[in-house]
């Protein structure tokens, strides 16, 4: 199985500042299409996760552009530029390169 | 609007069985693979099972293989998860999720609210 390792486990950021969340996969998630099978989700307490980013850097329609995904190979980053109060949540990365799909352990973002 | 509505959760004793269902609406159901993802209380996310759009192929996490069966009815827009030999480790909220459009688009969007399964004596 591909192991997804997120860091840090939690992160305290001031309003308006940048939050950076890292995700490392135990093996490459690059598809033959030259796209990385890596997604990011946001989960607020008591709510199901919501898709933010897929193919490592494609923002889902309607997601604010302060959220961006980057990375390649086995190392990926979710960046929140200009943190807003509503961004307080837990963030997960997921690889869908191979079954079983696997998730990182989550990163809790706080103010 | 795409909607996924799960049902069937509840309290079950260890060794028992439960059948979860997910009613989908707002999209052409047969065009999409569907999955179940679970989240134990206070824990992270664990993919459980997936089924292709035509129902011709199914996939399972090792933790549930041989105990859980995923199926779908494309005439009723329902995906189901039959669970047998439940253990306390299966206690979680089970979310029905739609996979992305196109081959290999295994990201999950949207997610249902989930149905809670509690395995306890």
Nearest to A6, CA basis, from A108, A110, A84: A108
Query: For A49-58, b where at least 16 C-beta lie within 10 A, e where not — what string?
Result: bbbbbbbbbe
* pLDDT tier, A103 (very low <50, low <70, confident <90, very high otherwise): very high
Say how many CA atoms lie within 13 Å of B95 toward its Cβ: 24
The pLDDT tens digits for A6-21 are 999 999 999 999 999 9
Query: For A9-44, b where at least 16 C-beta lie within 10 A, e where not — what string?
Result: eebebeeeeebebbbbbeeebbeeeebbbbbbbbbe
Which residue of chain B has the CA closest to A46?
A: B113
Contacts of B58 (CB under 8 A, 6+ apart): B49, B50, B51, B52, B69, B70, B71
Q: Return the pLDDT at A20.
A: 98
Residue A60 in this model has a pLDDT that exceeds 80 = yes
Pair A21, B84: CB distance under 8 Å: no
Report how many Cβ contacts below 8 Å link chain A to chain B.
58
Contacts of B112 in chain A (CB under 8 A): 48
Cα dihedral B30, B33, B38, B44 sign: negative
Q: How far is B41 from chain A (nearest CA, A)?
A: 11
d(CA B112, CA A66): 25
Which residue of chain A has the CA closest to B108?
A: A51
Q: For testing the chain A interface, which of B106, B110, B113, B116 should be mutated: the one with the most A CBs within 10 Å?
A: B106
Contact A100 B100 (CB under 8 A): no
Question: What is the mean pLDDT, run by run of 10 residues, along chain B of 121 residues?
Answer: 97 97 97 97 97 95 98 98 98 97 85 97 94
What percentage of residues in chain A have a pLDDT greater than 90? 96
Residue A32 in this model has a pLDDT that exceeds 90 = no
Q: Return the pLDDT at A17.
A: 96
Q: How far is B73 from chain A (nearest CA, A)?
A: 23
């Amino acid at each position: 199985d591909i192991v997804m390792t997120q860091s840090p486990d939690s992160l305290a950021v001031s309003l308006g500042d940048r939050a950076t969340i890292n995700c490392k996969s135990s093996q490459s998630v690059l598809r033959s299409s030259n796209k990385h099978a890596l997604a990011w989700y946001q989960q607020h307490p008591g709510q199901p996760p919501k898709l933010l980013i897929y193919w490592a850097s494609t923002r889902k329609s309607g997601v604010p552009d302060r959220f961006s995904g980057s990375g390649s190979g086995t190392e990926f980053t979710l960046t929140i530029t200009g943190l807003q109060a509503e961004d307080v949540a837990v963030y997960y990365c997921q690889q869908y390169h191979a079954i079983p799909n696997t998730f990182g352990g989550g990163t809790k973002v706080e103010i | 609007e795409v909607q996924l509505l799960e049902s069937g959760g509840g309290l079950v004793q260890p060794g028992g069985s439960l059948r979860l269902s997910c009613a989908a609406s707002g999209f052409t159901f047969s065009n999409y693979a569907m999955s179940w993802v679970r989240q134990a209380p206070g824990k992270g996310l664990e993919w459980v099972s997936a089924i292709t759009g035509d129902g011709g192929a199914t996939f399972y996490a090792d933790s549930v293989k041989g105990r859980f069966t995923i199926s779908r009815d494309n005439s009723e827009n329902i995906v189901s998860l039959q669970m047998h030999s439940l253990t306390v480790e299966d206690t979680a909220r089970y979310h029905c999720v739609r996979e992305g459009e196109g081959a290999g688009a295994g990201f999950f969007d949207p997610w249902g609210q989930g149905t809670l399964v509690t395995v306890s004596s």
